[in-house]
Protein backbone atom coordinates (compact mmCIF):
# COMPACT_ATOMS: atom_id res chain seq x y z
CA UNK A 1 0.00 0.00 0.00
CA UNK A 2 1.40 3.40 -1.02
CA UNK A 3 0.28 6.54 0.82
CA UNK A 4 0.55 10.00 -0.74
CA UNK A 5 0.15 13.16 1.34
CA UNK A 6 0.79 16.53 -0.28
CA UNK A 7 1.24 18.50 2.93
CA UNK A 8 -0.50 20.05 5.92
CA UNK A 9 -4.18 20.84 5.53
CA UNK A 10 -4.65 18.41 2.69
CA UNK A 11 -5.55 14.73 2.56
CA UNK A 12 -3.94 11.36 2.20
CA UNK A 13 -4.58 8.84 -0.55
CA UNK A 14 -3.71 5.18 -0.10
CA UNK A 15 -3.18 3.25 -3.31
CA UNK A 16 -4.43 -0.25 -2.66
CA UNK A 17 -4.45 -2.12 -5.95
CA UNK A 18 -3.54 -1.96 -9.64
CA UNK A 19 -5.12 -4.06 -12.39
CA UNK A 20 -4.59 -4.32 -16.12
CA UNK A 21 -7.89 -4.70 -17.90
CA UNK A 22 -7.92 -6.09 -21.44
CA UNK A 23 -10.62 -6.54 -24.05
CA UNK A 24 -12.49 -9.78 -23.49
CA UNK A 25 -10.96 -11.23 -26.62
CA UNK A 26 -8.08 -9.97 -28.69
CA UNK A 27 -9.81 -8.86 -31.90
CA UNK A 28 -6.75 -9.53 -34.08
CA UNK A 29 -4.67 -12.73 -34.40
CA UNK A 30 -1.64 -10.49 -34.98
CA UNK A 31 -1.26 -6.92 -33.63
CA UNK A 32 -2.95 -4.40 -35.90
CA UNK A 33 -1.00 -1.19 -36.45
CA UNK A 34 -3.27 1.85 -36.53
CA UNK A 35 -1.66 4.77 -38.34
CA UNK A 36 -2.73 8.15 -37.07
CA UNK A 37 -4.38 10.72 -39.31
CA UNK A 38 -2.73 14.03 -40.09
CA UNK A 39 -4.98 15.81 -37.59
CA UNK A 40 -3.89 13.38 -34.86
CA UNK A 41 -0.35 14.67 -35.30
CA UNK A 42 -1.48 18.12 -34.13
CA UNK A 43 -2.23 16.93 -30.62
CA UNK A 44 1.19 15.77 -29.55
CA UNK A 45 1.12 13.32 -26.66
CA UNK A 46 -0.65 15.36 -24.01
CA UNK A 47 -2.60 13.55 -21.29
CA UNK A 48 -6.31 14.43 -21.17
CA UNK A 49 -8.05 13.70 -17.87
CA UNK A 50 -11.73 13.72 -16.92
CA UNK A 51 -12.95 13.33 -13.38
CA UNK A 52 -16.37 12.43 -12.05
CA UNK A 53 -17.60 12.46 -8.46
CA UNK A 54 -20.45 10.30 -7.14
CA UNK A 55 -22.05 10.55 -3.70
CA UNK A 56 -24.49 8.44 -1.72
CA UNK A 57 -23.27 5.09 -2.99
CA UNK A 58 -23.13 3.57 0.52
CA UNK A 59 -25.68 0.96 -0.50
CA UNK A 60 -23.19 -0.42 -3.06
CA UNK A 61 -20.05 -2.15 -1.86
CA UNK A 62 -16.82 -0.53 -3.10
CA UNK A 63 -15.44 -3.87 -4.24
CA UNK A 64 -18.64 -4.52 -6.17
CA UNK A 65 -18.26 -1.12 -7.87
CA UNK A 66 -14.64 -1.68 -8.91
CA UNK A 67 -15.27 -5.20 -10.16
CA UNK A 68 -18.28 -4.01 -12.17
CA UNK A 69 -16.24 -1.16 -13.64
CA UNK A 70 -13.43 -3.50 -14.68
CA UNK A 71 -15.81 -6.04 -16.16
CA UNK A 72 -17.69 -3.44 -18.21
CA UNK A 73 -14.40 -1.79 -19.22
CA UNK A 74 -13.29 -5.11 -20.65
CA UNK A 75 -16.47 -5.21 -22.73
CA UNK A 76 -15.99 -1.58 -23.83
CA UNK A 77 -12.47 -2.27 -25.05
CA UNK A 78 -13.95 -4.80 -27.46
CA UNK A 79 -15.51 -1.85 -29.28
CA UNK A 80 -12.67 0.62 -28.65
CA UNK A 81 -9.77 -1.77 -29.28
CA UNK A 82 -7.14 0.97 -29.93
CA UNK A 83 -7.72 2.12 -26.33
CA UNK A 84 -6.41 -1.26 -25.20
CA UNK A 85 -3.25 -0.97 -27.26
CA UNK A 86 0.02 0.87 -26.81
CA UNK A 87 1.46 3.89 -28.57
CA UNK A 88 4.94 3.71 -30.01
CA UNK A 89 6.99 5.79 -32.42
CA UNK A 90 7.67 4.70 -35.97
CA UNK A 91 11.43 4.08 -36.20
CA UNK A 92 11.73 5.71 -39.61
CA UNK A 93 9.76 8.92 -38.85
CA UNK A 94 9.37 9.25 -35.09
CA UNK A 95 5.63 9.73 -35.56
CA UNK A 96 3.33 7.95 -33.08
CA UNK A 97 1.24 4.95 -34.06
CA UNK A 98 -1.11 2.68 -32.11
CA UNK A 99 -0.20 -0.99 -31.78
CA UNK A 100 -3.54 -2.74 -31.23
CA UNK A 101 -2.20 -5.72 -29.28
CA UNK A 102 -4.62 -5.69 -26.32
CA UNK A 103 -1.95 -4.63 -23.84
CA UNK A 104 -4.82 -3.31 -21.74
CA UNK A 105 -5.86 -0.29 -19.71
CA UNK A 106 -4.53 0.42 -16.21
CA UNK A 107 -7.04 0.61 -13.34
CA UNK A 108 -5.82 1.96 -9.99
CA UNK A 109 -7.86 1.61 -6.81
CA UNK A 110 -7.35 4.07 -3.96
CA UNK A 111 -8.79 5.33 -0.69
CA UNK A 112 -8.91 8.94 0.52
CA UNK A 113 -9.01 9.69 4.26
CA UNK A 114 -11.65 12.46 4.03
CA UNK A 115 -15.30 12.75 3.02
CA UNK A 116 -16.06 14.33 -0.35
CA UNK A 117 -17.34 17.55 1.22
CA UNK A 118 -13.85 18.26 2.61
CA UNK A 119 -12.16 18.01 -0.79
CA UNK A 120 -10.83 21.26 -2.22
CA UNK A 121 -12.69 21.35 -5.53
CA UNK A 122 -11.45 24.84 -6.36
CA UNK A 123 -7.67 24.44 -6.11
CA UNK A 124 -6.96 21.56 -8.48
CA UNK A 125 -3.23 21.81 -7.80
CA UNK A 126 -3.89 20.25 -4.39
CA UNK A 127 -5.79 17.20 -5.59
CA UNK A 128 -4.74 16.15 -9.06
CA UNK A 129 -1.44 14.59 -10.01
CA UNK A 130 -0.23 11.96 -7.60
CA UNK A 131 -3.47 11.92 -5.64
CA UNK A 132 -6.67 11.62 -7.68
CA UNK A 133 -4.89 11.17 -11.01
CA UNK A 134 -2.42 8.36 -11.64
CA UNK A 135 0.10 8.83 -14.42
CA UNK A 136 1.83 5.90 -16.10
CA UNK A 137 3.16 6.60 -19.58
CA UNK A 138 3.01 2.92 -20.47
CA UNK A 139 -0.79 2.92 -20.73
CA UNK A 140 -2.72 5.19 -23.12
CA UNK A 141 -5.83 4.72 -20.95
CA UNK A 142 -5.66 4.91 -17.16
CA UNK A 143 -8.47 4.93 -14.62
CA UNK A 144 -8.33 5.68 -10.91
CA UNK A 145 -11.26 4.81 -8.64
CA UNK A 146 -10.98 6.54 -5.26
CA UNK A 147 -13.28 5.92 -2.30
CA UNK A 148 -14.00 8.50 0.43
CA UNK A 149 -14.96 8.09 4.06
CA UNK A 150 -18.50 9.31 3.34
CA UNK A 151 -19.14 6.41 0.95
CA UNK A 152 -18.73 8.55 -2.16
CA UNK A 153 -16.26 7.83 -4.95
CA UNK A 154 -14.40 9.65 -7.70
CA UNK A 155 -13.36 8.17 -11.02
CA UNK A 156 -10.64 9.81 -13.07
CA UNK A 157 -10.01 8.80 -16.66
CA UNK A 158 -6.73 9.75 -18.36
CA UNK A 159 -6.28 9.35 -22.11
CA UNK A 160 -3.33 9.91 -24.41
CA UNK A 161 -4.41 12.68 -26.81
CA UNK A 162 -3.15 10.60 -29.74
CA UNK A 163 -6.18 8.34 -29.20
CA UNK A 164 -8.68 11.10 -29.84
CA UNK A 165 -10.32 14.34 -28.80
CA UNK A 166 -13.14 15.23 -26.40
CA UNK A 167 -15.80 13.93 -28.79
CA UNK A 168 -14.00 10.55 -28.99
CA UNK A 169 -13.52 10.25 -25.24
CA UNK A 170 -17.12 11.26 -24.60
CA UNK A 171 -18.31 8.43 -26.84
CA UNK A 172 -16.03 6.01 -24.98
CA UNK A 173 -17.36 7.03 -21.55
CA UNK A 174 -21.00 6.83 -22.66
CA UNK A 175 -20.45 3.39 -24.18
CA UNK A 176 -18.74 2.19 -21.01
CA UNK A 177 -21.55 3.46 -18.79
CA UNK A 178 -24.15 1.87 -21.07
CA UNK A 179 -22.45 -1.52 -20.89
CA UNK A 180 -22.07 -1.18 -17.11
CA UNK A 181 -25.88 -0.81 -16.93
CA UNK A 182 -26.37 -3.81 -19.25
CA UNK A 183 -27.65 -1.61 -22.06
CA UNK A 184 -26.70 -1.83 -25.76
CA UNK A 185 -24.10 0.68 -26.89
CA UNK A 186 -25.51 3.70 -28.72
CA UNK A 187 -22.27 4.25 -30.69
CA UNK A 188 -20.47 1.80 -32.96
CA UNK A 189 -17.09 3.55 -33.13
CA UNK A 190 -15.37 4.30 -36.43
CA UNK A 191 -11.62 3.69 -36.12
CA UNK A 192 -10.79 4.30 -39.78
CA UNK A 193 -8.75 7.49 -39.24
CA UNK A 194 -9.57 8.22 -42.88
CA UNK A 195 -8.85 11.95 -43.03
CA UNK A 196 -6.51 11.85 -46.01
CA UNK A 197 -4.77 14.75 -47.79
CA UNK A 198 -5.66 15.83 -51.29
CA UNK A 199 -3.41 14.92 -54.19
CA UNK A 200 -1.41 17.03 -54.62
CA UNK A 201 -1.69 18.67 -51.18
CA UNK A 202 -2.24 22.41 -51.20
CA UNK A 203 -3.08 24.99 -48.56
CA UNK A 204 -3.64 28.69 -47.97
CA UNK A 205 -0.53 30.51 -46.68
CA UNK A 206 -2.49 31.70 -43.63
CA UNK A 207 -2.10 28.24 -42.06
CA UNK A 208 1.62 29.00 -41.64
CA UNK A 209 0.66 31.86 -39.31
CA UNK A 210 -1.14 29.55 -36.88
CA UNK A 211 0.81 26.27 -36.88
CA UNK A 212 4.41 25.19 -36.66
CA UNK A 213 6.33 21.93 -36.90
CA UNK A 214 7.89 20.95 -33.58
CA UNK A 215 9.53 18.09 -31.74
CA UNK A 216 8.38 16.18 -28.66
CA UNK A 217 11.33 17.75 -26.84
CA UNK A 218 10.02 21.23 -27.66
CA UNK A 219 6.52 20.26 -26.50
CA UNK A 220 7.84 18.91 -23.20
CA UNK A 221 9.98 22.01 -22.65
CA UNK A 222 7.54 24.78 -23.49
CA UNK A 223 8.91 28.07 -22.11
CA UNK A 224 6.93 29.24 -19.09
CA UNK A 225 6.46 33.02 -19.19
CA UNK A 226 4.33 33.05 -16.05
CA UNK A 227 3.53 30.74 -13.16
CA UNK A 228 0.25 28.97 -13.90
CA UNK A 229 -2.31 27.68 -11.40
CA UNK A 230 -5.18 25.19 -11.84
CA UNK A 231 -8.66 26.17 -10.73
CA UNK A 232 -12.25 24.93 -11.05
CA UNK A 233 -15.24 27.27 -11.29
CA UNK A 234 -19.02 27.14 -11.37
CA UNK A 235 -20.92 29.45 -13.75
CA UNK A 236 -24.62 29.90 -13.04
CA UNK A 237 -27.06 29.59 -15.95
CA UNK A 238 -28.42 33.10 -15.29
CA UNK A 239 -24.93 34.60 -15.69
CA UNK A 240 -24.47 32.83 -19.02
CA UNK A 241 -27.87 33.97 -20.26
CA UNK A 242 -27.17 37.57 -19.22
CA UNK A 243 -23.86 37.56 -21.09
CA UNK A 244 -25.61 36.29 -24.20
CA UNK A 245 -28.17 39.09 -23.96
CA UNK A 246 -25.32 41.62 -23.83
CA UNK A 247 -23.58 39.95 -26.78
CA UNK A 248 -26.77 40.18 -28.86
CA UNK A 249 -27.44 43.81 -27.96
CA UNK A 250 -26.82 45.04 -31.51
CA UNK A 251 -29.46 42.67 -32.87
CA UNK A 252 -26.96 40.04 -34.09
CA UNK A 253 -27.44 36.51 -32.74
CA UNK A 254 -24.41 35.28 -30.84
CA UNK A 255 -23.86 31.93 -29.10
CA UNK A 256 -23.30 31.51 -25.37
CA UNK A 257 -19.66 30.56 -25.98
CA UNK A 258 -19.11 33.68 -28.10
CA UNK A 259 -20.64 35.81 -25.36
CA UNK A 260 -18.63 34.06 -22.64
CA UNK A 261 -15.43 34.47 -24.68
CA UNK A 262 -16.08 38.19 -25.13
CA UNK A 263 -16.46 38.60 -21.38
CA UNK A 264 -13.22 36.70 -20.65
CA UNK A 265 -11.30 38.63 -23.29
CA UNK A 266 -12.42 41.94 -21.83
CA UNK A 267 -11.42 40.81 -18.33
CA UNK A 268 -7.99 39.70 -19.58
CA UNK A 269 -6.82 43.27 -20.12
CA UNK A 270 -6.97 43.80 -16.34
CA UNK A 271 -4.50 40.97 -15.81
CA UNK A 272 -1.67 41.67 -18.25
CA UNK A 273 1.39 43.89 -18.00
CA UNK A 274 0.79 47.56 -18.71
CA UNK A 275 3.41 47.50 -21.47
CA UNK A 276 1.32 45.04 -23.50
CA UNK A 277 -0.62 46.61 -26.37
CA UNK A 278 -2.41 43.47 -27.60
CA UNK A 279 -3.69 40.14 -26.34
CA UNK A 280 -5.01 36.98 -27.98
CA UNK A 281 -7.67 34.35 -27.51
CA UNK A 282 -7.85 30.95 -29.15
CA UNK A 283 -10.72 28.48 -29.54
CA UNK A 284 -10.64 24.75 -30.25
CA UNK A 285 -12.97 24.05 -33.18
CA UNK A 286 -14.42 20.60 -33.93
CA UNK A 287 -14.24 19.66 -37.63
CA UNK A 288 -17.01 17.03 -37.46
CA UNK A 289 -19.86 18.20 -39.63
CA UNK A 290 -17.53 20.57 -41.43
CA UNK A 291 -15.20 18.21 -43.28
CA UNK A 292 -18.17 15.94 -43.99
CA UNK A 293 -21.81 15.81 -43.01
CA UNK A 294 -22.12 15.46 -39.26
CA UNK A 295 -23.92 12.12 -39.42
CA UNK A 296 -21.01 10.65 -41.41
CA UNK A 297 -18.51 11.56 -38.68
CA UNK A 298 -20.67 11.35 -35.57
CA UNK A 299 -18.95 8.13 -34.44
CA UNK A 300 -15.47 8.95 -35.79
CA UNK A 301 -12.80 8.23 -33.16
CA UNK A 302 -9.69 10.36 -33.44
CA UNK A 303 -8.73 14.02 -33.47
CA UNK A 304 -10.70 16.41 -35.66
CA UNK A 305 -9.68 19.72 -34.14
CA UNK A 306 -8.28 23.03 -35.27
CA UNK A 307 -7.53 26.25 -33.40
CA UNK A 308 -9.06 29.61 -34.23
CA UNK A 309 -7.00 32.60 -33.09
CA UNK A 310 -8.14 36.16 -32.56
CA UNK A 311 -5.99 39.16 -31.68
CA UNK A 312 -7.16 42.54 -30.43
CA UNK A 313 -5.63 45.69 -29.01
CA UNK A 314 -5.95 46.40 -25.33
CA UNK A 315 -7.49 49.75 -26.24
CA UNK A 316 -10.25 48.14 -28.33
CA UNK A 317 -10.99 45.59 -25.63
CA UNK A 318 -11.23 48.31 -22.99
CA UNK A 319 -13.51 50.50 -25.06
CA UNK A 320 -15.53 47.80 -26.79
CA UNK A 321 -18.84 46.45 -25.54
CA UNK A 322 -19.48 42.75 -24.99
CA UNK A 323 -21.43 42.88 -28.26
CA UNK A 324 -18.48 44.43 -30.14
CA UNK A 325 -16.02 41.86 -28.81
CA UNK A 326 -18.42 38.96 -29.43
CA UNK A 327 -18.55 39.99 -33.10
CA UNK A 328 -14.77 39.77 -33.23
CA UNK A 329 -14.91 36.34 -31.56
CA UNK A 330 -17.48 35.18 -34.12
CA UNK A 331 -15.31 36.28 -37.03
CA UNK A 332 -12.24 34.48 -35.66
CA UNK A 333 -14.08 31.20 -35.07
CA UNK A 334 -15.91 31.37 -38.40
CA UNK A 335 -12.61 31.68 -40.26
CA UNK A 336 -11.73 28.08 -39.37
CA UNK A 337 -15.18 26.50 -38.86
CA UNK A 338 -15.49 25.41 -42.48
CA UNK A 339 -14.46 22.59 -44.79
CA UNK A 340 -11.87 24.62 -46.73
CA UNK A 341 -9.87 25.35 -43.60
CA UNK A 342 -9.79 21.73 -42.40
CA UNK A 343 -8.78 20.45 -45.84
CA UNK A 344 -6.03 23.07 -45.95
CA UNK A 345 -4.87 22.05 -42.48
CA UNK A 346 -4.72 18.35 -43.40
CA UNK A 347 -2.69 19.25 -46.49
CA UNK A 348 -0.40 21.61 -44.54
CA UNK A 349 0.45 18.77 -42.16
CA UNK A 350 1.12 16.45 -45.10
CA UNK A 351 3.59 18.97 -46.52
CA UNK A 352 5.43 19.20 -43.19
CA UNK A 353 5.59 15.51 -42.28
CA UNK A 354 7.23 13.61 -40.74
CA UNK A 355 6.97 14.91 -37.20
CA UNK A 356 4.60 16.59 -34.80
CA UNK A 357 2.85 19.90 -35.38
CA UNK A 358 1.19 22.30 -32.97
CA UNK A 359 -0.49 25.67 -32.90
CA UNK A 360 1.88 28.50 -32.11
CA UNK A 361 -0.50 29.91 -29.49
CA UNK A 362 -0.44 26.68 -27.44
CA UNK A 363 3.35 26.52 -27.63
CA UNK A 364 3.45 30.03 -26.19
CA UNK A 365 5.34 31.49 -29.14
CA UNK A 366 5.36 35.27 -29.33
CA UNK A 367 5.17 37.92 -26.64
CA UNK A 368 1.40 38.52 -26.69
CA UNK A 369 -0.57 37.24 -23.63
CA UNK A 370 -3.06 34.58 -24.69
CA UNK A 371 -5.76 32.23 -23.46
CA UNK A 372 -7.32 29.25 -25.28
CA UNK A 373 -10.91 28.14 -24.64
CA UNK A 374 -12.27 24.65 -25.27
CA UNK A 375 -16.02 24.19 -25.22
CA UNK A 376 -17.67 20.84 -24.52
CA UNK A 377 -21.37 21.69 -24.62
CA UNK A 378 -22.18 18.16 -25.86
CA UNK A 379 -19.76 16.37 -23.55
CA UNK A 380 -21.54 13.78 -21.37
CA UNK A 381 -21.80 14.54 -17.68
CA UNK A 382 -25.05 13.37 -16.07
CA UNK A 383 -25.21 10.52 -18.62
CA UNK A 384 -22.08 8.89 -17.19
CA UNK A 385 -23.94 6.56 -14.84
CA UNK A 386 -22.19 3.24 -14.23
CA UNK A 387 -25.09 1.75 -12.33
CA UNK A 388 -24.76 3.64 -9.05
CA UNK A 389 -26.31 6.96 -10.07
CA UNK A 390 -25.37 10.08 -11.99
CA UNK A 391 -22.36 12.16 -10.90
CA UNK A 392 -22.62 15.38 -8.93
CA UNK A 393 -19.63 16.71 -10.89
CA UNK A 394 -18.00 15.76 -14.16
CA UNK A 395 -15.38 17.85 -15.86
CA UNK A 396 -11.96 17.90 -17.49
CA UNK A 397 -8.67 18.71 -15.83
CA UNK A 398 -5.03 18.63 -16.78
CA UNK A 399 -1.86 17.15 -15.36
CA UNK A 400 0.23 18.98 -17.97
CA UNK A 401 3.34 20.35 -16.29
CA UNK A 402 4.18 22.94 -18.92
CA UNK A 403 1.88 24.89 -21.20
CA UNK A 404 2.64 28.15 -22.96
CA UNK A 405 -0.81 29.69 -22.69
CA UNK A 406 -3.72 30.14 -20.31
CA UNK A 407 -6.34 27.47 -20.86
CA UNK A 408 -10.03 27.01 -20.06
CA UNK A 409 -12.32 24.02 -20.54
CA UNK A 410 -16.08 24.57 -20.37
CA UNK A 411 -18.44 21.68 -19.66
CA UNK A 412 -22.14 21.50 -18.76
CA UNK A 413 -22.70 20.99 -15.05
CA UNK A 414 -24.26 17.81 -13.68
CA UNK A 415 -27.32 19.84 -12.66
CA UNK A 416 -28.62 19.82 -16.26
CA UNK A 417 -30.02 23.31 -15.72
CA UNK A 418 -27.84 25.26 -18.15
CA UNK A 419 -25.07 25.98 -15.64
CA UNK A 420 -21.43 25.23 -16.43
CA UNK A 421 -18.24 24.04 -14.82
CA UNK A 422 -15.04 25.63 -16.08
CA UNK A 423 -11.63 24.16 -15.32
CA UNK A 424 -8.80 26.57 -15.92
CA UNK A 425 -5.03 26.92 -16.09
CA UNK A 426 -4.40 30.60 -15.42
CA UNK A 427 -1.72 33.02 -14.35
CA UNK A 428 -2.57 34.28 -10.84
CA UNK A 429 -3.43 37.84 -11.93
CA UNK A 430 -6.05 36.54 -14.39
CA UNK A 431 -7.56 34.24 -11.75
CA UNK A 432 -7.85 37.23 -9.39
CA UNK A 433 -9.45 39.38 -12.09
CA UNK A 434 -12.03 36.73 -12.96
CA UNK A 435 -12.85 36.09 -9.30
CA UNK A 436 -13.35 39.80 -8.61
CA UNK A 437 -16.71 39.49 -10.37
CA UNK A 438 -19.60 37.23 -9.38
CA UNK A 439 -19.71 35.22 -12.62
CA UNK A 440 -16.75 32.94 -11.85
CA UNK A 441 -17.65 31.19 -8.58
CA UNK A 442 -14.89 29.05 -7.05
CA UNK A 443 -16.16 25.47 -7.04
CA UNK A 444 -17.07 24.18 -3.60
CA UNK A 445 -18.88 21.33 -1.88
CA UNK A 446 -21.72 23.78 -1.15
CA UNK A 447 -22.20 24.54 -4.86
CA UNK A 448 -22.17 20.80 -5.51
CA UNK A 449 -24.92 20.49 -2.91
CA UNK A 450 -23.14 17.96 -0.69
pLDDT tens digits for 185-213? 999 999 999 999 999 999 999 999 999 99
Which residues span the domain enclosing 429?
Answer: 206-378+399-448
Domain membership flag for residue 415: yes
- As a whole number, mean pLDDT of residues 216-231 equals 80
Q: What is the pLDDT of residues 132-157, one digit of tens each?
A: 998 788 899 999 999 999 999 999 99
Greatest CA separation for the chain:
65
- As a whole number, mean pLDDT of residues 89-114 equals 94
| 401: confidence class by pLDDT, cuts 50, 70, 90 | low
170 and 239 belong to one structural domain: no
210 and 102 belong to one structural domain: no
128 and 38 belong to one structural domain: yes
Q: 181, 197, 231: which is the final residue of a domain?
A: 181
With helix as H, strand as E and coil as C, how does the chain read? CEEEECCCCCCEEEEEEEEEECCCCCCCCCCEEEECCCHHHHCCCCEEEEEEEECCCCCCCHHHHHHHHHHHHHHHHHHCHHHHCEEEECCCCCCEEEEECCCCEEEEEEEECCCHHHCCCCEHHHCCECCCECCCCCCCEEEEEEECCCCCEEEEEEEEHHHCCHHHHHHHHHHHHHHHCCCCCCCCCECCCCCCCCCCCCCCCCHHHHEEEECHHHHHCCCCCCCCEEEEEEECHHHHHHHHHHHCCCCCCCCHHHHHHHHHHHHHHHHCCCCCCEEEEEEEEECCCCCCCHHHHCCECCCCEEEEEEEEEHHHHHHCCHHHHHHHHHHHHHCCCCHHHHHHHHHHHHHHCCCEEEEHHHHCCCCCCEEEEEECCCCCCCCCCCCCCCCCEEEEECCCCCCCCEEEEEEECCCCCCCEEEEEEECHHHHHHHHCCCCCEECCCCCCCC
pLDDT tops 80 at residue 56:
no
> Total structural domains in the chain?
2
215 and 288 belong to one structural domain: yes
Domain membership flag for residue 79: yes
Domain membership flag for residue 212: yes
pLDDT tops 50 at residue 386:
yes
231 and 162 belong to one structural domain: no
| 61: confidence class by pLDDT, cuts 50, 70, 90 | confident
Domain membership flag for residue 433: yes
- Higher per-residue pLDDT: 44 or 311: 311
Q: 181, 216, 245: which is the final residue of a domain?
A: 181
Average pLDDT, rounded, for the chain: 91
Domain membership flag for residue 383: no
123 and 32 belong to one structural domain: yes
- As a whole number, mean pLDDT of residues 274-283 equals 93
Q: 166, 181, 196: which is the final residue of a domain?
A: 181
169 and 226 belong to one structural domain: no
Percent of the chain with pLDDT over 70: 96
Question: Looking at 48-52, 74-78, 247-251, 394-398, which range is the least confident one?
Answer: 394-398
pLDDT tops 90 at residue 58:
no
Q: What is the pLDDT of residues 295-329, one digit of tens each?
A: 789 999 999 999 999 999 999 999 999 999 999 99
Q: What is the CATH number of the domain that holds 294?
A: 3.30.559.10
359 and 216 belong to one structural domain: yes
Closest CA to 127 of 11, 245, 298: 11
157 and 26 belong to one structural domain: yes
Per-residue model confidence (pLDDT) at position 214: 84
Amino acid sequence: MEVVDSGPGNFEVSFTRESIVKAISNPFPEPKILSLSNLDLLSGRFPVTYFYFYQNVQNVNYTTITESLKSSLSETLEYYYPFSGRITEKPETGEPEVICDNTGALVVEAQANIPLKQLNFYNLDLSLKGKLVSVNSGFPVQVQVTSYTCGGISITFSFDHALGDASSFGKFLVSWSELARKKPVSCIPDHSRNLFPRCPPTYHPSVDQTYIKCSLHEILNIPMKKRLIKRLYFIDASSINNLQILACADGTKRTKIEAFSAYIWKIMVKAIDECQEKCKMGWLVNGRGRIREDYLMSNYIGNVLSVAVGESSVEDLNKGSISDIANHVHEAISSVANEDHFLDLIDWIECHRPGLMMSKIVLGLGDTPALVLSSGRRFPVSEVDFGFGSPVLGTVCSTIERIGVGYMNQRPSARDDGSWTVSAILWPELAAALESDSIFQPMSATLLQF
